[in-house]
Amino acid sequence: MTQGHLRGPSFDLSGKVALVTGGNRGIGRAIALGFANAGAAVAILARDPDRNAGVEAELEQIGQPTHADILDVTDRAALALAIASVERALGPIDILVNNAGNADVSGGVLHQSQEGWDNALATHLTATFLLAKAAASSMQQRGRGKIINLASMYSIFGAAALPSYAAAKGAVVQLTKSIAIELAPHGIQVNAIAPGWIATEKTQVARRDPDWSDFNAMLMARTPAGRWGEPEECAGAAVFLASPAADFVTGITLPVDGGYSVF
C-alpha cells in the first residue's frame, strides 16, 4: 500500500483519459460527464453525430479535453481503429467503459429472429470483448488501467421477452470475471455495473405511458427505494470504479438498482 492510499481514497481522475461507448445519451452520457467533472479527458463513441456533438459541447463546457467520433460497435473492423483514434487525440486510454447497447424486445425465444440474436451478442458481448482486448493491450504496457462493462439486472434474472439481451448481459458478467483474473497481475481492474430501472429515453414508455401503469407500479413495488434511478447515479458508481479508490476492487458486478436485486 502506498503513502497516497494511506491518506485515504481518491476519486480524482485528473490526468486520466476515459473512453465511453454509447456516450451520447442516457447512462453513457451521465458517465462521460461524471468522468469530466472528476478531472478526466473524455472520448465518446456512438452512432449519432448530432448527439455526439451535443455531449462533446457539454464536456467542453466542463473544461476537460474531449473527443467524439462516430462508431457502430457491431462493426468489428472499426473497433481497434476507434481505440487508435482516441489515443491519437487524447493520449493512451486509462479508462474504458463498454456502455453501448440496445434491447431487442422479441417477445421470447419462439419469436426471436436470428438477426436480432446476432445483433444483441455483437453489440453487448463481442464488442465488449474486442474493445477490452484492444484497450488492455495498451494498458498492460503501462501497468495500469480500468475497464468497466455495463451489465444489467437481466445478467441475473431471466427475461422472457428479451432472451438475446439477457443472454448477452449474463455473458458480460462472466467475461468481466475472466478478464479481471487475467489482467489483475498487470495492474488493470475490470468490473461491471448492473443498472436497475433507470430513467432514460429508452424507459420513457414504461414510466409515462398509461398503458404501462400496471407494469410501472409493479417495478416500484419490487424496488425497495420506491423510485426510478437517475443516470447520474450510475455515473457515481463508474467514477468510483475508475478511480484509485477502487484499485483493490476487481471482477465484481456492482448493482445500481435501488435494491431491486436484493429481493
Q: pLDDT tens for residues 197-217?
A: 999 988 888 899 998 899 999
Contact 243, 10 (CB under 8 A): yes
Question: Which residue of the set 35, 154, 165, 228 is catalytic?
Answer: 165
Residue 6 has pLDDT above 60, yes or no: no
* CA distances to 7, 143, 186 from 177, in Å: 29, 19, 15
Q: What is the pLDDT of residue 182?
A: 98
Confidence of residue 111 (pLDDT cuts 50, 70, 90): confident
Q: What is the pLDDT of residues 115-153, one digit of tens each?
A: 888 999 999 999 999 999 999 999 999 999 999 999 999
Lowest mean pLDDT among 34-38, 59-63, 82-86, 110-114: 110-114
Burial class of residue 90 in the structure, from the number of CB atoms within 10 Å of its CB (0-12 exposed, 13-18 middle, 19+ buried): buried
Q: What is the pLDDT of residue 1?
A: 44
Q: What is the pLDDT of residue 115?
A: 86
Alpha-carbon Rg for the chain, nearest whole angstrom, is 18
DSSP class of 26:
H
CATH class of 3-203+232-257: alpha beta
Q: What is the pLDDT of residues 55-88, one digit of tens each?
A: 999 999 999 999 999 999 999 999 999 999 999 9
Q: What is the pLDDT of residues 152-161, one digit of tens each?
A: 999 998 877 7
Catalytic residue status for 165: yes
Q: What is the pLDDT of residue 159?
A: 78
DSSP class of 260:
G
Residue 246 has pLDDT above 70, yes or no: yes
- What value does the mean pLDDT of the chain take? 93
Contact 227, 220 (CB under 8 A): yes
206 Cβ neighbours under 8 A, 6+ residues apart: 197, 212, 215, 216, 219
Domain map (residue ranges) of the chain: 3-203+232-257
Alpha-carbon torsion (111, 115, 117, 123), positive or negative: negative
Confidence of residue 233 (pLDDT cuts 50, 70, 90): very high
Burial class of residue 224 in the structure, from the number of CB atoms within 10 Å of its CB (0-12 exposed, 13-18 middle, 19+ buried): exposed
Confidence of residue 166 (pLDDT cuts 50, 70, 90): very high
Q: DSSP states of 177-246 as a string?
A: HHHHHHHGGGTEEEEEEEE-SB-SGGGHHHHH-GGGHHHHHHHHHH-TT-S-B-HHHHHHHHHHHHSGGG
Q: What is the pLDDT of residue 61?
A: 97
